[in-house]
């Protein structure tokens, strides 16, 4: 029987064969008689070319896909990332080989936005320090007045980036009574107006925000965008939140700003090096809340991401343009269109 071969990186299952993320429902693929699932191992963190030879699509978690990963048989049509970050995929190489690089913005939009709001609430209410002094007994309780929280009404919440996630954060933040600002050169001005968001320059964003959330992809343009110079312009009472990618923030500069009282605190789900080493200096600071690039990891999040990847793969199998293509120019590539036409003929 003619089959559509879908590869999955093996970090989607544990050593005993059980699923790493049970809410990732593979049934629509497993139950399709025209789909063959294959598990592919990485070699030193990179998917080897031998693993993808003869495959039509790859659903990828953590390993990298480089130019050397792409088979010469021309069959591979899609690399679908489990999430919205794609810095582990060589998008240029995908485009050159008529392969769609796909992400799942709809699956992570609400869960990541919830994570950002979680940081805002935890930082403003001094949640972690209050948890700690409560556990100290009466002597800790006696310190309650030393750790007064901050109300949010009238505070300025800023987003560096107002894409899918940034816009959702603003929707969730609206009832808190904060002023909403953002910097994003690609922002939809009509949407910003609808959400009550003032679009400002990067200089004004850093100067005005009481809470500044980073929601931009990692690229050459955004690497260390949040640097010592920009941190120095922030309010000493301000908080930085990063749920995007660690290298967007100069971590050494951030440590110095936090340790030196340049800003009040931070909420970090991402780091320059991951996993963050135990001796990472920023982990020693008590004005930082840290999570292991997993704050948004919920059953809801992973079910949504998985469903989006599965839907994209099945769309391609049936000859349809999928949602979430990063290298959008591929949609007009004659080689890509020929792949879709062939899939439609065989499976449509």
| Domain match, 80 and 225 both | no
Has 256 been annotated as catalytic? Answer: no
Question: What does R_g of the chain's alpha carbons equal in angstroms?
Answer: 22
Q: What's the CA gap between 216 and 222, in Å, rounded?
A: 8
**For the packed helices 299-317 and 105-124, what is the interaxial angle rounded to 10 degrees?**
160
Q: Give the active site residue among 203, 274, 341, 342.
A: 274
| Domain match, 70 and 185 both | no
| Domain match, 165 and 282 both | yes
3-state secondary structure of 221: coil
pLDDT at 85: 86
Structural domain span for residue 268:
109-290
Confidence of residue 293 (pLDDT cuts 50, 70, 90): very high
The pLDDT tens digits for 4-55 are: 999 999 999 999 999 999 999 999 999 999 999 999 999 999 999 999 999 9
* Contact predicate 55/76, CB 8 Å: yes
| Domain match, 225 and 253 both | yes
| Domain match, 31 and 115 both | no
Instruction: Say which CATH number the domain at 71 has.
Output: 3.40.50.720
* Contact predicate 218/245, CB 8 Å: yes
Distances (CA, A) of 335 to 222, 294, 339, 341: 32, 37, 6, 10
pLDDT at 343: 97
Q: What is the DSSP string of 7-72?
A: EEEGGGB-TTS-BSSTTS--HHHHT-TTEEEEEE--BTTB--HHHHTT-SEEEESSSBB-GGGS-T
What's the structural domain count of the chain? Answer: 2
* Contact predicate 215/166, CB 8 Å: yes
**For the packed helices 105-124 and 127-134, what is the interaxial angle rounded to 10 degrees?**
60
Q: Give the active site residue among 81, 110, 230, 245.
A: 245
| Domain match, 252 and 321 both | no
| Domain match, 88 and 171 both | no
The pLDDT tens digits for 77-131 are: 999 999 988 989 999 999 999 999 999 988 899 999 999 999 999 999 999 999 9
CA nearest to 214, candidates 172, 252, 187, 248:
248
Question: Which parts of 199-333 fold into alpha helices (H)?
Answer: 202-208, 228-231, 251-259, 299-317
Residues 6+ apart with CB under 8 A from 6: 29, 35, 36, 37, 38, 55, 56, 57, 58, 59, 313
HSE (side-chain half, CA atoms, 13 Å) at 154: 2
Residue positions counted in the chain = 348
Domain stop point among 253, 274, 290? 290
3-state secondary structure of 218: coil
| Domain match, 286 and 307 both | no
Mean pLDDT value across the chain: 96
| Domain match, 270 and 284 both | yes
Domain stop point among 269, 290, 311? 290
pTM score of the predicted model: 0.86
Has 293 been annotated as catalytic? Answer: yes
- Is the pLDDT confidence value at 1 over 90? no
| Domain match, 232 and 193 both | yes
| Domain match, 142 and 93 both | no
Domain stop point among 270, 290, 310? 290
| Domain match, 223 and 86 both | no
* Contact predicate 243/112, CB 8 Å: yes
Q: What is the mean pLDDT of residues 304-332?
A: 96
């Amino acid at each position: 029987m003619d089959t559509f071969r879908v590869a999955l990186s093996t970090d989607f299952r544990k050593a005993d064969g059980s699923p790493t993320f049970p809410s990732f429902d593979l049934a629509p693929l497993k139950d399709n008689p025209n789909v063959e699932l294959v598990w592919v191992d990485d070699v030193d963190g990179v998917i080897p070319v031998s693993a993808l030879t003869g495959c039509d699509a790859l659903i990828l978690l953590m390993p990298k896909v480089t130019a050397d990963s792409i088979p010469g048989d021309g069959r591979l049509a899609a690399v679908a990332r489990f999430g919205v970050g794609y810095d582990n995929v060589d998008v240029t190489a995908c485009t050159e080989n008529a392969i769609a690089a796909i992400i799942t913005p709809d699956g992570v939009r609400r869960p990541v936005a919830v994570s950002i709001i979680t940081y805002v609430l935890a930082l403003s209410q001094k949640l972690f320090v209050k948890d700690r002094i409560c556990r100290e007994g009466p002597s800790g309780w006696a310190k309650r007045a030393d750790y007064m929280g901050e109300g949010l009404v009238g505070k300025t919440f800023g987003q560096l980036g107002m894409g899918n996630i940034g816009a959702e954060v603003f929707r969730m933040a609206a009832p808190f009574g904060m002023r909403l600002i953002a910097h994003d050169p690609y922002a939809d001005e009509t949407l910003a107006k609808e959400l009550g968001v003032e679009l400002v320059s990067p200089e004004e964003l850093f100067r005005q925000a009481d809470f500044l959330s980073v929601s931009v992809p990692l690229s050459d343009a955004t690497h260390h965008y949040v640097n010592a110079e920009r941190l120095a312009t922030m309010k000493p009472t301000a908080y930085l939140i990063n749920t995007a990618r660690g290298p967007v923030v100069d971590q050494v500069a951030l440590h110095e700003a936090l340790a030196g009282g340049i800003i009040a605190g931070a909420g970090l789900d991402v780091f320059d090096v991951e996993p963050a080493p135990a001796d990472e200096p920023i982990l020693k600071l008590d004005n930082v809340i840290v999570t292991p690039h997993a704050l948004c990891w919920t059953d809801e999040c992973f079910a949504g991401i998985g469903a989006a990847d599965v839907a994209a793969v099945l769309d391609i199998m049936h000859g349809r343009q999928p949602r979430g293509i990063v290298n959008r120019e591929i949609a007009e590539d004659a080689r890509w269109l020929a792949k879709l036409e062939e899939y439609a003929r065989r499976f449509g």
